[in-house]
């Protein structure tokens, strides 16, 4: 069984990673075509490219590791079941993010009724996930400055603090690499509205980052 490398591009398309089966130079769409023709190694390459990005997208959306894991797996299973529906009219990344987004929305709807354990609540100690990520990162990489770690934690908090519509656009564009036009298509929103949400999101993050020395240094 192939094992993916942890160094996978968050965007996915022609992402990096260790290549073992000669599919590295193929586009996502070509891999999908090959999978439809029975090449299961092509599907493994797609999973390798998108697993990390999709998992983090779902994690930011539903704020639960278990739910993000299940949703990521379910998104790939829907790719398998709906492979015949895939056309070259859109990019694979747009298609798979649309699938995952719908799954996340369904999960959030169910969460309201099931009183799902929140992302913050499931953390055993140390506060919220982002705090733990930040503390882990600090522990692992002691050479980085305290200021830089504060920036990362602050950024995570700022992203989580974004309104849902702005955070969704921000994640799709910044994390998923989905163009604005395709975000507009999959969210069924005018493109100008998408861009406005993105601009508001960047403005908010900019204000949050202003207090950090790292940001000021970059501006200089």
Partner 1 sequence: MDCERFDKMSLDLLYDELDELTTAAARRHLHHCTRCQGVWTKLRVTRELSSPPLEEPPEDLFESILLAEQAAHKQLPFRERFGRTISILAGYAMRPQLAMAALLLLMIGSSLVFLRASPSGRDRIGASERGAPSTELVAEAKERTALVLGTEGNGDAEPTATGARGTESAAAPGAAAEAALADGAGTAKSDKEGYREAMSAYQQGRYAEAERLFSEVAAAGGEKAAAAALHEAHAARNGSGCQRATALYDQVSGRYAGSTVADEAAWQAASCYQALGQIARARAHYQALAARPAYRTRAEQAMSALDPQVALASKAKAADAAEAAPAARAGAAAGPEEQTAPSAGSATPGEAKPAAPAAAKPSQPTTSP
Q: Which residues bind partner 1 (CB under 8 A)?
A: 1-4, 6, 10, 36-38, 40, 43-44, 47-48, 51-53, 55-56, 59-60, 65, 69, 72-73, 76-77, 80-81, 84, 133, 137, 151-152, 155-156, 158-159, 171, 173-175, 179-180, 195, 198-199, 202, 205-206, 209, 214-215, 218-219
Contacts of 102 (CB under 8 A, 6+ apart): none
- Smallest separation, CB 153 to partner 1 (Å): 9
CA–CA dist 53, 97 (Å, integer): 10
- Smallest separation, CB 114 to partner 1 (Å): 22
CB 158 within 8 A of CB 209: yes
CB 43 within 8 A of CB 1: no
Closer CB to partner 1, residue 38 or residue 188?
A: 38
Closer CB to partner 1, residue 3 or residue 113?
A: 3
Closer CB to partner 1, residue 115 or residue 140?
A: 140
Closer CB to partner 1, residue 109 or residue 203?
A: 203
* String of DSSP letters for 88-155: TTS-HHHHHHHHHHHHHHHHHHHHHHHTPPPHHHH--SSSSHHHHHHHHHHHH-TTS-HHHHHHHHHH
CB atoms within 10 A of CB 81: 8
**For residue 31, what are its two tokens?**
């891999």
- Smallest separation, CB 109 to partner 1 (Å): 23
> Which of the 8 DSSP states describes residue 24?
T
Closer CB to partner 1, residue 113 or residue 142?
A: 142
Closer CB to partner 1, residue 2 or residue 142?
A: 2
Residues in the chain: 220
- Smallest separation, CB 178 to partner 1 (Å): 10
- What is residue 220's three-state secondary structure? coil
- Smallest separation, CB 172 to partner 1 (Å): 11
- Smallest separation, CB 26 to partner 1 (Å): 15
């Amino acid at each position: 069984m192939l094992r993916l490398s942890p160094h996978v591009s968050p965007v996915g398309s022609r992402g990096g990673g260790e290549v073992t089966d000669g599919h590295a130079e193929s586009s996502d769409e070509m891999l999908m075509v090959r999978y439809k023709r029975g090449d299961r190694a092509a599907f493994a390459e797609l999973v390798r490219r998108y697993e990390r990005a999709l998992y983090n997208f779902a994690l930011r959306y539903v704020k639960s590791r278990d739910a993000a894991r299940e949703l990521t797996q379910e998104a790939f299973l829907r790719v398998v079941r709906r492979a015949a529906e895939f056309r070259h009219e859109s990019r694979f990344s747009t298609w798979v993010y649309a699938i995952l987004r719908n799954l996340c929305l369904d999960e959030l709807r169910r969460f309201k009724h099931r009183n799902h354990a929140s992302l913050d609540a499931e953390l055993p100690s140390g506060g919220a996930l982002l705090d733990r990520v930040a503390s882990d990162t600090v522990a692992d990489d002691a050479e980085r400055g305290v200021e830089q770690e504060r920036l990362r934690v602050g950024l995570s908090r700022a992203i989580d603090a974004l309104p849902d519509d702005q955070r969704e656009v921000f994640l799709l564009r910044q994390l998923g690499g989905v163009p604005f036009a395709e975000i507009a298509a999959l969210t069924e929103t005018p493109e100008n509205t998408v861009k406005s949400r993105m601009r508001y999101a960047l403005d908010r993050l900019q204000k949050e980052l202003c207090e950090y020395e790292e940001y000021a240094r970059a501006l200089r």
